[in-house]
Amino acid sequence: EDKVVQSPLSLVVHEGDTVTLNCSYEVTNFRSLLWYKQEKKAPTFLFMLTSSGIEKKSGRLSSILDKKELFSILNITATQTGDSAVYLCAVEVGAAGKSTFGDGTTLTVKP
């Protein structure tokens, strides 16, 4: 059975801190790994990673994939209160594009 595990489950930091969120997976027929941000409604897409070692960046957020060790990290630097959300990691498997999601990391950024 495909499995995606995120850690930590929750995290509380202060504005300006840097955080690292982890996602490990065990799946058959890996296609890509995706990060989403969910703020009380629909998840919004952040990154898609398919190749090992290539960092994707968007502003203060960055992510990288290690296909040998089967994990990805999402980094957020200089956190702001608006970064407070649940961050979901999903692994797309097979040709059908079915995604298996982790349970998410709840990030709370305090002023």
Partner 1 sequence: NAGVMQNPRHLVRRRGQEARLRCSPVKGHSHVYWYRQLPEEGLKFMVYLQKENIIDESGMPKERFSAEFPKEGPSILRIQQVVRGDSAAYFCASSPLAGQSHNEQFFGPGTRLTVL
Binding site for partner 1 (CB under 8 A): 4, 6, 31-32, 34, 36, 41-45, 48, 50, 88, 90, 92, 95-104
**3-state SS track over 1-58:** CCEEEEECCEEEEECCCCEEEEEEEECCCEEEEEEEEECCCCCEEEEEECCCCCCEEE
Provide the 8-state DSSP code for 92: E
Nearer to partner 1, 76 or 88 (CB): 88
Q: How near is the Cβ of 109 to partner 1 at its closest, in Å?
A: 19
Nearer to partner 1, 19 or 43 (CB): 43
Nearer to partner 1, 17 or 108 (CB): 108
Task: Name every residue whose Cβ is closer than 8 Å to that of residue 96 and which is 6 or more positions away in sequence.
Answer: none
Nearer to partner 1, 31 or 67 (CB): 31
Q: How near is the Cβ of 91 to partner 1 at its closest, in Å?
A: 11
Contact, 73 vs 15, CB < 8 A?
A: no
Q: How near is the Cβ of 28 to partner 1 at its closest, in Å?
A: 13
